[in-house]
């Protein structure tokens, strides 16, 4: 039976979780790693996702991309701030559709995100030993309609039926079990890799109602890394006379080095930064936590304004907040913890792993949808106002921001020209008075109106937002009964046909994609086993007979030859044969180690 899983599709890392009885658990890989770095690379063998792709950032930066979530639901004009994070080239297939150039490929952000989703889907299927076709996926609370639709499209391309798009702060509350509170107000402070969100929720008898949300989709851990990277580039320019700003490989090496230093300074007061550069030059310096905090303090301060605004929108004061929850990897920084505590005047919850808390909550929501938990209800809000363009380019709001969803609204409009036979319905999202300052989502025409004098027709426009925060719009001429309905497909632009083509291709190439994956995994395992076996054989050569040594070498040669081919089954077979023939060698090495450890020791000295 197919399981519904919860997925945190993150800017920096992605995770998948499931309900194990009554407890949500994050699914780890065979090495025990729960995080899948949200990094995608491509080589001559195909797509690489996760840790291996992350390692290629330093060696193949122009065929590797990270932080794709920053591009979701955006056109090139919207992504100017994000371009500094990408060593790869960004282009537009057509207005509003970003394409990322990776080697010979040009993919949209939803297509790239689908590769990450396929990776976590495969991990879940391998662990649960069943097919996974349904998921709950989380998004930042401040994601607009375009970004939510892009996330749903990514799921569809990955072969997932996305049952619900859930706001990350709401998911965090579920993970903390705050639904067990009888009632109270919770502030969720979420500082992740690419975005910042603040949500104010009210809990009463198992009902979660989001009262207000605010945030910054251009602020996250990536920005802190960028600030530190700029410091290092400047110091290298002064100390070594090297301007590495345009050296893509060096820039990525510095970025990864400073990201590591930032993480270390969350638990240590000082760390040593060592970054090898070209021509044998090594950049080396110690970095103190205080210096890091002074460099990024202004960025962290930017999160306080949205916190104030969210409380104001919820018509609450600081003393009304009962609990504060920290979410997102960047909240590990002691500076963030201090500032949040100072602002809200109470110690925030930080007991759960901030990287995992959202995925855990998504698993709880998945269980609610599956009928496992029946005494809970989530009431999210739409983060931005939705409306249409009226005469003079004015934004007429039908659904104000922070309206509880699902919701709907309708309003009557009329014509402005005598004999007008059609009406353009242009849908916008934003908070400005004029549509030119807001974001265009979609437009359509209501045609074949009766040619009446201006002001006589009555045209009803109906907005409906579903539980995922996706907008549907209809327009109806009340006189004739003619109507036109559209599910708003945001102008970032994947059409139904394009999504259908991608899904069809994912099925068409599913077998070959899986074969390629299995081959890569088998080769990786073989390389590890060969390395360990050759080292063990060299160490244990005097301990075994000559003919046994020769048989092991023959099996090593056979495995190496198999890895040169494309048959992953043959590689697995050769691995198994090598494992069996080296059992005696391993026993001899163990005996030798024990004898060496016991040599010249008295019985009384043994533990």
Q: Exactly one of 69, 74, 152, 489 is catalytic; which is it?
A: 69
Q: Do 94 and 186 reside in the same domain of the chain?
A: yes
Of 54, 338, 357, 326, residue with least CA distance to 186? 326
Task: Say if residue 494's pLDDT is above 60.
Answer: no
Of 349, 431, 347, residue with least CA distance to 382? 431
Assign 504 a pLDDT band (cuts: 50, 70, 90). Answer: low
CA dihedral of residues 258, 264, 265, 269 (deg, nearest 10)? -130
Structure tokens at 410: 């309708």
Task: Say if residue 583's pLDDT is above 60.
Answer: yes
432 DSSP assignment: S
Q: What are phi and psi of 601, to 5 degrees?
A: -105, 140
Contact 521, 528 (CB under 8 A): no
CA count, 13 A, side-chain hemisphere, 117: 33
Query: Is residue 355, in this structure, part of any structural domain at all?
Result: yes
Strands (E), 406-554: 407-413, 423-429, 439-446, 459-465, 471-477, 483-487
List 486's β-bridge partners, or say none: 473
Cα gap 582→530, rounded to integer Å:
11
Q: Do 239 and 198 reside in the same domain of the chain?
A: no
Task: Say if residue 217's pLDDT is above 50.
Answer: yes
370's enclosing H/E stretch is none
Cα gap 70→92, rounded to integer Å:
16
Q: Do 353 and 410 reside in the same domain of the chain?
A: no
List 98's β-bridge partners, or say none: 92
Measured CA angle at 468 (ends 318, 204), to 5 deg? 40
Residue written as tokens 């299927």?
125
Measured CA angle at 438 (ends 432, 441), to 5 deg? 140
Query: Is residue 606, in this structure, part of any structural domain at all?
Result: no
Contact 384, 431 (CB under 8 A): yes
Residue written as tokens 């892009």?
150
250's enclosing H/E stretch is helix 248-264
What CATH number has the domain bearing residue 250?
Answer: 3.90.640.10
Distances (CA, A) of 49 to 113, 117, 358: 10, 10, 21
Q: Do 133 and 119 reside in the same domain of the chain?
A: yes
The maximal CA–CA distance of the chain, rounded, in angstroms, is: 111
Q: Exactly one of 111, 125, 153, 168 is catalytic; which is it?
A: 168
Active-site annotation holds for 168: yes
pLDDT in tens, 518-567: 887 788 789 889 988 998 898 888 888 899 999 999 999 999 999 999 89
Assign 493 a pLDDT band (cuts: 50, 70, 90). Answer: very low
Q: Do 160 and 68 reside in the same domain of the chain?
A: yes
Active-site annotation holds for 8: yes
Cα gap 68→54, rounded to integer Å:
13
Q: What are phi and psi of 412, to 5 degrees?
A: -95, 135
Report if pTM > 0.75.
no
Q: Do 431 and 449 reside in the same domain of the chain?
A: yes
What CATH number has the domain bearing residue 591?
Answer: 1.20.1270.10
Q: Do 13 and 119 reside in the same domain of the chain?
A: yes
Q: Exactly one of 8, 259, 380, 389 is catalytic; which is it?
A: 8
Q: Exactly one of 119, 145, 190, 197 is catalytic; which is it?
A: 190
Structure tokens at 208: 């979660």
pLDDT of residue 77: 77
What CATH number has the domain bearing residue 121?
Answer: 3.30.420.40
Task: Say if residue 211's pLDDT is above 60.
Answer: yes
Task: Say if residue 133's pLDDT is above 90.
Answer: yes
Cα gap 493→110, rounded to integer Å:
10
Decide which of 448, 466, 493 is a domain's last residue.
Answer: 493
Decide which of 318, 346, 379 is a domain's last residue.
Answer: 379
pLDDT in tens, 22-73: 889 999 988 899 999 999 999 888 899 999 998 888 788 888 998 888 888 8
Q: Do 466 and 594 reside in the same domain of the chain?
A: no
Q: Do 209 and 306 reside in the same domain of the chain?
A: yes
Q: Do 363 and 397 reside in the same domain of the chain?
A: no
Tally of domains within the chain: 4
386 DSSP assignment: E
Task: Say if residue 517's pLDDT is above 50.
Answer: yes
Cα gap 132→127, rounded to integer Å:
11
Active-site annotation holds for 190: yes
Q: Do 205 and 226 reside in the same domain of the chain?
A: no
DSSP letters of 135-159? EEEEE-TT--HHHHHHHHHHHHHTT
With pLDDT > 70 as the criterion, what percentage of the chain qualifies? Answer: 88
Domain that holds residue 251: 221-300
């Amino acid at each position: 039976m197919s399981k519904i899983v919860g997925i945190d599709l993150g800017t920096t890392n992605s995770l998948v979780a499931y309900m194990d009885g009554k407890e949500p658990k994050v699914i780890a890989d065979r090495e025990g790693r729960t995080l899948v770095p949200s990094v995608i690379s491509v080589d001559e063998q195909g797509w690489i996702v996760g840790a291996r792709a992350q390692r290629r950032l330093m060696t193949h930066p122009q065929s590797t991309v990270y932080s794709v979530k920053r591009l979701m639901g955006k056109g090139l004009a919207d992504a100017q701030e994000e371009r500094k994070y990408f060593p790869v080239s960004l282009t537009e297939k057509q207005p509003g559709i970003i394409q990322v150039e990776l080697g010979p490929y040009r993919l949209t952000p939803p297509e790239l995100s689908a590769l990450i989703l396929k990776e976590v889907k495969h991990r879940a299927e391998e662990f649960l030993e069943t097919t996974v076709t349904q998921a709950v996926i989380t998004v930042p609370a401040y994601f607009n309609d375009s970004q939510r639709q892009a996330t749903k499209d990514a799921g569809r391309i990955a072969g997932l039926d996305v049952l619900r798009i859930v706001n990350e702060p709401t998911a965090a509350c579920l993970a903390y079990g705050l639904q067990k509170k009888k009632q109270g107000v919770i502030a969720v402070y979420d500082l992740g890799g690419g975005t910042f969100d603040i949500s104010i929720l009210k809990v009463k008898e198992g009902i979660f109602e989001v009262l207000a949300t605010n945030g910054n989709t251009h602020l996250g851990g990536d920005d802190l890394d960028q600030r530190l990277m700029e410091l290092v580039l400047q110091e290298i320019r002064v100390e070594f006379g090297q301007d590495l700003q345009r050296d893509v490989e060096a820039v990525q090496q510095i970025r990864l080095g400073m990201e590591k230093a930032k993480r270390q300074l969350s638990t240590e007061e000082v760390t040593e930064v060592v970054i090898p550069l070209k021509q044998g030059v090594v950049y080396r310096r110690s970095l103190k936590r205080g210096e890091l905090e002074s460099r990024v303090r202004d960025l962290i301060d930017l999160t306080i304004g949205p916190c104030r605004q969210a409380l104001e929108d919820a018509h609450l004061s600081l003393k009304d907040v009962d609990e504060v929850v920290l979410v997102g990897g960047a909240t590990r920084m002691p500076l963030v913890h201090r500032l949040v505590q100072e602002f809200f005047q109470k110690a925030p919850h930080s007991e759960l792993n901030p990287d995992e808390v959202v995925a855990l909550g998504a698993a709880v929501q998945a269980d609610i949808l599956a009928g496992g938990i029946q005494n809970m209800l989530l009431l999210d809000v739409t983060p931005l106002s939705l409306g249409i363009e009226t005469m003079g380019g004015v934004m007429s709001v039908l659904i104000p921001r922070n309206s509880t969803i699902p919701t709907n609204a309708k309003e009557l409009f009329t014509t402005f020209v005598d004999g007008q036979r059609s009406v353009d319905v242009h849908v916008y999202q934003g908070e400005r008075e004029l549509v030119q300052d807001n974001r265009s989502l979609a437009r359509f025409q209501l045609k074949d109106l009766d040619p009446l004098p201006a002001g006589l027709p009555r045209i009803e426009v109906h907005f409906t937002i579903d539980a995922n925060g996706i907008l549907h719009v209809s327009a109806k001429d009340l006189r004739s009964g003619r109507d036109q309905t559209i599910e708003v497909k945001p102008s970032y632009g994947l059409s139904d046909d394009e999504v259908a083509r991608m899904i069809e291709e994912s099925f068409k190439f599913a077998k070959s994609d899986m074969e390629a994956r299995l081959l890569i995994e088998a080769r990786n395992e073989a390389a590890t086993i060969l390395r360990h076996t050759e080292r063990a054989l060299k160490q244990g050569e005097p301990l075994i007979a000559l003919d046994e040594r020769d048989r092991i070498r023959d099996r090593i040669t056979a495995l190496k030859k198999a890895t040169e081919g494309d048959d992953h089954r043959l590689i697995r077979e050769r691995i198994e044969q090598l494992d069996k023939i080296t059992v005696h060698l391993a026993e001899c090495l163990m005996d030798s180690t024990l004898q060496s450890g016991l040599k010249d020791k008295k019985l009384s000295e043994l533990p």
